[in-house]
Structure 1
Amino acid sequence: MEISKIKGEQRPALCLIGKVFSIKLVNKNVFMEVINKIWRADGGVEIEQIKGNTFEFLFKSLKARQRILNGGPWSFDREIIVFEKPTWEGVIDGMMFNTVDIWGNMIGEVRELNLETNSYRSGHFLRVRVTVQVREPLQQSIRVDYHGSGKVTTMLLRYERLMISVLNVVV
């Protein structure tokens, strides 16, 4: 099905609305070119500027859309891109753009858990994809009662593919 002919209920299912959290206005042509090159979405993605740093992304397949959502967080020019899933066409003004899914550790609403054994120089770790508020500072550590033993341990949090300063800027 040709993207330009997608209407009604199908369009929101293939669409994402994204906002680049930057004080300065992004160059829309450069943005569209870079995102298309980075994502290489199956069948392509049509990008249309809605207003300012807010864009509509229309994918040709649900698989491509989901791959982009799962592959985040995404950024452009060192600024985070926050996505919303539209419920129906034309309702963008009410979108808050206030959460982003990241791979973190016990700091937000859990979206996905990677149960593979992982290790790094500093020891073993668990990858958890969570939703965090973009307008609130990221936690640097958490205190947990590991295995319910009564012994509280401080765990340092590490963030993948994320510049902490990007999320800590209030726009």
Structure 2
Amino acid sequence: MQNVLASIWRPKDGMEIHDLGGQRYSFVFFHVLDLQKVVEGGSWTFEQNLLLHHKLEANEDAHLVRLNRMDIWVQIYDLPTGMLSERILKSIGDYIGVFIKADSQNVKGGWKLFVRIRVTMDVDKPLKRKMKIKREGVLGHG
């Protein structure tokens, strides 16, 4: 696992993975930028299993942490022209889960196949696939 993930993440200052048992692992990064790149870079899988993560605080037991949330980039298709605003994107993100941010590469105006937003999702809840947006900017569930 360590070799595969290190080859994908390419941490500049290295990393270690410790098996804690019960399908839990401790990931140790030796530079804060390496950790930041992995945490913000996407949702990750290993051998078709989702890697859920949590940054441990002092005195927190890794075996007791509830791992049910993940940050993920979501692609939004067919957003009507004129609806690409931070307010609308935040509303969509909060409908899906909890809005974190819009991709800085999203362009305002013009033609684009999709826009991306980053949201925190509860993996225990079903995915929401559709949402109706009214012209006035009022959001509805679809």
TM-score (norm 2): 0.73
**What fraction of aligned residue pairs are identical, expressed as a percent?**
26
Q: Deviations over 1:53-91 (max 9, x none)?
A: 111111111111000001120001111100011012561
Aligned to 2:50: 80
Residue 48 of structure 1 pairs with residue 18 of structure 2: yes
Aligned to 1:126: 115
Structure 1 residue 131, shift from structure 2 partner? 0.4
Aligned to 2:83: none
Letter paired with 1:110: F
Letter paired with 1:130: V
Report if the CA contact (8 A) 1:145-1:153 is conserved: no
Aligned to 1:15: none
> Does 1 or 2 have the higher relative contact order (CA < 8 Å, sep 6+)?
1
More strand by share: 1
Give distance in 2, aligned partners of 1:63 and 1:90: 23
Q: Secondary structure at the match of 1:92?
A: coil
Superposed counterparts of 1:17-96, under 5 Å: 31-88=1-58, 91-96=61-66
Give distance in 1, aligned partners of 2:4 and 2:136: 45
Give distance in 1, aligned partners of 2:141 and 2:51: 34
Letter paired with 1:136: K
Give distance in 2, aligned partners of 1:38 and 1:80: 15
Provide runs of 4+ in structure 1 moved above 4 Å: 150-154
Q: Deviations over 1:9-29 (max 9, x none)?
A: xxxxxxxxxxxxxxxxxxxxx
Report if the CA contact (8 A) 1:117-1:124 is conserved: no
Superposed counterparts of 1:128-143, under 5 Å: 128-143=117-132
Residue 101 of structure 1 pairs with residue 90 of structure 2: no
Give distance in 2, aligned partners of 1:40 and 1:34: 10
Unaligned runs of 5+ in 1: 1-30, 155-171
